Amino acid sequence: MLKRVIICVLLLSTLLSCFVGCKKNDEGAEATTTATTAEGTKSILDTLPEKDFEGRAYNILVCEEGYNDTHYYAHDEDDGEPITTVSYERTKWIEDKYKIDMNVIENKDFTTLVRSNHQAGATEYDLIFPHPTNGIMSLMTEGYLANFCDLENCHMDEEWYNQSQVNGYKVNDKLYFIVSDYSMVAMGISALVYNKDMWDQQGFDMNPYEEVNNGTWTYEKFLKLIENFSVADDGTGTYGLQLREHNVDGFLRGFGEKITSRNEAGEFSLAFDRTRLSDIADKLYSLTWEHPGVYHATANNAQYPSSDLYLNFKDGKSLFATYDIGGSHQYLRTLQFRIGILPYPKLDTNQADYYPTCASEFFAIPSILSEDRQEESALILDALSRYSHIYMRPKFFETVLLGRMSESADDYKMLEMIYSKVSYDFGYTADVDGNLRSIMYEVIIQSKSKNTEAFLRKKSGYIEDLMASMNAIE
């Protein structure tokens, strides 16, 4: 377990004070770090309830995945890295304010441990951080998780929680997982990263950030950017796109397709527009198999420094790369050229918005805890989320764009925009077998086909059972 000690308080830089990611209300007033109360306007930290935990441990059980720095949730040392410093100072702040001892415990057999503790009546864990797909649904349906809707100390409607996730995962007035700014550093958000130096050398007559901001960043425009790139058999040439093969589904989600939607009665059903899905499959098949400037990265974690995708991009062999700008952001900082970050393009101009997506970084509270303990757990999570909203959020944006990676406030604003639009799909989490969340990978990559309709017919029984199980959640 990790005990944290700290001696200083975070100060935001003058530069970031201009770009702290303020959300505006209808009157244009800043709402990010303040809340209006009967006494006037106060910091969102000033409006937290007071409580003395009398030095007791506050334990966070984390699923050990082997690649994310889960100590980020409560760093016990400051190694000088900007994000570590904020995490370190956040831990000291929460420990001092509520007189608790923060600890992070990792365990590979996470789901088994949660079950066995519950059955034994053990209450040592205040907060749990499950794997985003493995075992998460069973923990919910088998009654091991508390309902956030019952907890007064969880202000789930506030901006330090992801509202797409809160609204999309709430079923029958029950919400068993929640995503907040407390976990934003590790969010697995796939986006397009591009080499700005190469962009300038190509002399493109386009400002990609203006295209995004104007709502005109489309798949057709993306294709035009990469159409003249190719690599010969001897390896000479340059790729237009380094494509992690699983990210064909990243394009699909970027085009606004979700696995599930709900009707007016709140019932789940398959959300795919089958005609649109078929059209998308045609386009992505062509991108994947018929374009000489697209490199296939087969590794599941293709963004890691040892992967061919990362090494090719790092060596200046590609203009674009699909990349996890959340959980793997630290590797971008080793690049020796300027980068830009863009959301996946719209399918066309008829698409209403951009849809950066995430399917991880959930927190939950064990239901074995007493009602008072559940409220205490929610209070600490809420406080950590508020602090992260004020301090971690801007520091993360700055850190991703450190050094040669950024020369412009526009980079910062684009990254902030992507995070502000992150959406969740409950169907992705509920699809425990991965049949639907990887539909384009299964059809286009694995089967080298375009026939999504045949795939859906084959999975019709699974789809029916999935919708039934989701609608039966209590």
Question: Which CA distances in Å does 370 have to 81, 121, 204?
Answer: 38, 11, 61
Give the pLDDT of residue 303: 60
pLDDT greater than 80 at residue 304: no
pLDDT digits (tens, 9 = 90+) for 79-137: 888 888 999 999 999 999 999 999 999 988 899 999 999 999 999 999 999 988 888 99
Confidence of residue 42 (pLDDT cuts 50, 70, 90): low
pLDDT greater than 60 at residue 444: yes
Average pLDDT over residues 263-275: 93
How far separated are the first and last CA of the chain, in Å rounded?
34
Confidence of residue 33 (pLDDT cuts 50, 70, 90): low
| 354, 346 contact by CB (below 8 A) | yes
pLDDT digits (tens, 9 = 90+) for 139-159: 999 999 999 999 999 999 999
pLDDT higher at 323 or 436: 436
Nearest to 249 by CA among 214, 199, 300: 300
Give the pLDDT of residue 301: 60
Structure tokens at 429: 């989490």
Give the pLDDT of residue 265: 87
| 293, 301 contact by CB (below 8 A) | no
pLDDT higher at 341 or 3: 341
pLDDT greater than 60 at residue 11: no
Confidence of residue 68 (pLDDT cuts 50, 70, 90): low
pLDDT greater than 50 at residue 10: no
Q: How many CA atoms lie within 13 A of 387 on its CB side?
A: 24
Give the pLDDT of residue 451: 98
Residue matched to tokens 């700005």:
196
Domains along the chain with CATH numbers: 50-186+359-407 (3.40.190.10), 190-357+431-471 (3.40.190.10)
Nearest to 62 by CA among 152, 153, 130: 130
Would the pTM of this model clear 0.95, i.e. be above it? Answer: no
State the average pLDDT for the chain.
86
Identify the helix (H) or strand (E) that includes residue 456. helix 452-458
